[in-house]
Amino acid sequence: MALLSIDEATARIQALAVPLEPETSALSHAAGRVLAADVACDRDQPPFDRAMMDGFAVSSADGVGPLRVVGIVPAGGAYDAVVAGGEAVRIMTGAPVPAGTDAVQMFENTTWDDDHVTLTAPVRPGENVARRGSELREGAVAVPSGARLTSARLGLLWSVGAATVQVVRAPRLAILSTGDELVELADRPGPSQIRDSNRGVSGDLCRRAGAEVVLERRVADDPSATRSAIADALDQVDVLVLTGGVSAGDFDVVGQCLRAEGVEVVFHKVDIRPGKPLWFGHRGAQLVFGLPGNPVSSAVVARVFLVPALRRLAGAQRPHDPRVLLPLRAPFRGTGDRPTYQPAIAELGVGVTLLRTGGSGDLPGFASANALAILPARHPDFDAGSDIEVMIDAEALLG
């Protein structure tokens, strides 16, 4: 039977990844969340004609002067009188422009003493002045529903007094690692054991995708223990992630336990390298992912399929990692019979280097990468300079 394509697997997952219900959050705890309702501006922005430079507020009709300096307006202050013809007021950035003036000349374009100022260049009406309401009008949408709260958007919401906001609830998630060969981080592995690194990779990816990891457990290869752990997890979460035991024969026990708990399989196996054994199912709105046990395979399919699903549940409108075309910096061998996500080192504006790793268990080699190059199936050898599609991990690019 033909394997499910990457695009079809993605479509089936995204069709079931419906954004979760909204909840109220303090603005101070809402960074990175997605708004579930528009936030309106509570007053004009700016709320007054605002000086955009340190300098002198003048009437442009007065020309270059000299003008008599009649006061000073700091940010947060005000000049209550009307400035008459032939007069100027010293003003600081952010302060209200006084009545009777229509422009601000910056200090650098003036000569002045305590009593008079002369402009070394004339000003136009409105120069260096942000007019009241020129940025936002009272009642206008400051940040729309569906927007992710970046630092700039948080700053805007602070400026309009949005102490609390409606955001899409973060998905609650459990990670169950299966396998008698696994030991905990602090334990010393026996001769045939390994530490459970998949839980570290998956947990980090899920948290960075906006999920709240509420349960992490290692589960022995025992049907009773496996079903008990699955039942306990499904009572608490929106998404269940299992790592290991998803190959054709090994997954029988886990699959039986999931079916016994009402989980319906959507697909098992995808036309991708690495990560072919990926399993996906659901119980109502709850999503269940079975990731391969090999650490590189697990990390790749988590990036390609799990992370976008979590982002979508958390309300993201563009849940997939950005992709760019970069020139290949050195030749690379051709691909096999499946589309391949190859660990790579990407340098934006320079190119991409594909890494030759020891396979789907080579976590040290994979850790050297900051991107995944997407190579089509059955492609002949790649020449240096060939354009390669690259999935970017923005944080990894920082080093």
Provide φ and ψ at 185, rounded to 5°: -55, -45
For residue 233, what are the domain limits?
6-20+170-313
264 and 179, same domain (yes or no): yes
Are residue 162 and residue 183 in the same domain, yes or no? no
Q: Let me know: does 24 contact 171? Beta carbons within 8 Å.
A: no
260, 283, 313 - which closes a domain: 313
- If you average pLDDT over every residue of the chain, what do you get? 90
- What CATH number should be reported for the domain holding residue 233? 3.40.980.10
pTM for this predicted structure: 0.86
Torsion, Cα of 52, 58, 64, 69 (10° steps): -110
CB 285 within 8 A of CB 264: no
**pLDDT tens across 23-75, in order?**
999 999 999 999 999 999 999 999 999 999 999 999 999 999 899 999 999 99
Pair 108, 237 in one domain = no
Are 199 and 280 found together in one domain? yes
CA dist., res. 30 & res. 154, Å (int):
8
Q: Assess if residue 387 is contained within a domain.
A: yes
* Residue 55: CATH number of its domain: 2.170.190.11
Q: Which residues contact 39 (CB under 8 A, 6 or more apart)?
A: 141, 142, 143, 157, 160, 162, 165
Same-domain status, 251 and 372: no
Name the domain boundary from 283, 313, 343: 313
Inside any domain, residue 254:
yes
The answer to whether residues 305 and 264 belong to one domain is yes
Dist. CA 184–CA 196, nearest whole Å = 6
Residue 318 included in any domain: no
Please answer whether residues 202 and 61 qualify as being in contact, where contact means their C-beta atoms are separated by less than 8 angstroms. Answer: no
Question: Taking 70 as the threshold, does the pLDDT of residue 184 lie above it?
Answer: no
Res. 5: pLDDT tops 90? yes
- Residue 244, domain member (yes or no): yes
Q: Is residue 95 part of a domain?
A: yes
Same domain membership, residue 236 and residue 209: yes
Same domain (yes/no): 178, 257? yes
For residues 301 and 188, state if they share a domain: yes
Last residue of a domain, one of 313, 347, 370: 313
Nearest of 357, 216, 214 to residue 295 by alpha carbon: 357
Angle at CA 342, nearest 5°, toward 346 and 319?
75
Structure confidence by residue, pLDDT tens digits, 78-129: 999 999 999 999 999 999 999 999 999 999 999 988 799 999 999 999 999 9
Total domains present in the chain: 4
Q: Is the pLDDT of residue 249 over 70?
A: no
